[in-house]
Amino acid sequence: MNTSSFPSLVIGRDGVVPRGSFAEVQAEFLSPDLESVAKLDRLFAEKKIGIVAHFYMDPELQGVLSACSWEHIYISDSLKMADSAVEMVEAGCEHIIVLGVDFMSENARAMLDAAGHTDIPVYRVASDDIGCSLASAADGPNYKAWLRKAGANARALHVVYINTSLHTKAFAHSLVPTITCTSSNVVNTVLTAFAQIEDLHVFYGPDTYMGENLEVLFQTLLELTDEDIQKIHPAHNRATIESLLTRFHYFKQGNCVVHHMFGADVASKVSRDYSDAMITAHLEVPGEMFELGIKAQREGRGVVGSTSNILDFISNKVRVAIAEKNEERLRFVLGTEAGMVTSIVNRLRDIHREHPETKVETEIIFPVASEAIAQAPESELAIVPGVASGEGCSVAGGCATCPYMKMNSLDALLDLGQRVAAPGDDLQAYFPRKYIDLIAGQTAAQLGGEPILHMRNFQREQAIPFELTQDILERHEAQQ
Say if residues 6 and 17 touch (Cβ distance below 8 Å).
no
Residue 439 lies in a domain: no
- Give the number of other Cβ atoms within 10 Å of residue 355's Cβ: 14
Residues 265 and 396 reside in one and the same domain? yes
- From 357, 381, 401, the end of a domain falls on 401
d(CA 389, CA 477): 59
Residue 360 lies in a domain: yes
What are the tens digits of pLDDT across the range 313-364?
Answer: 999 999 999 999 888 899 999 988 777 888 898 899 999 999 999 999 999 9
Residues 19 and 59 reside in one and the same domain? no
d(CA 134, CA 258): 11
- Give the number of other Cβ atoms within 10 Å of residue 216's Cβ: 13
Residues 297 and 419 reside in one and the same domain? no
Residues of the chain with pLDDT under 70: 1-4, 256-261, 368-403, 480
d(CA 435, CA 419): 25
So what's the pLDDT on residue 198? 93
So what's the pLDDT on residue 52? 96
- Provide the strand spans (E) within 209-348: 248-250, 278-282, 302-305, 329-335
Say if residues 49 and 121 touch (Cβ distance below 8 Å).
no
The CATH number for 85's domain is: 3.40.50.10800
- Give Cα 450 distance to the centre of its chain: 20
d(CA 53, CA 285): 22
What are the tens digits of pLDDT across the range 81-132?
Answer: 889 999 999 999 999 999 988 888 988 998 899 899 999 999 999 888 887 7
Residue 286 lies in a domain: yes
Tell me phi and psi for residue 161, to 5 degrees. -60, 140
Residue 262 lies in a domain: yes
Tell me the residue range of the domain where 296 lies. 8-27+257-401
Residues 281 and 382 reside in one and the same domain? yes
So what's the pLDDT on residue 250? 95
Residues 388 and 337 reside in one and the same domain? yes
Tell me phi and psi for residue 51, to 5 degrees. -120, 120
Residue 55 lies in a domain: yes
Residues 339 and 417 reside in one and the same domain? no
Residues 49 and 119 reside in one and the same domain? yes
User: What is the count of structural domains for the chain?
Assistant: 2
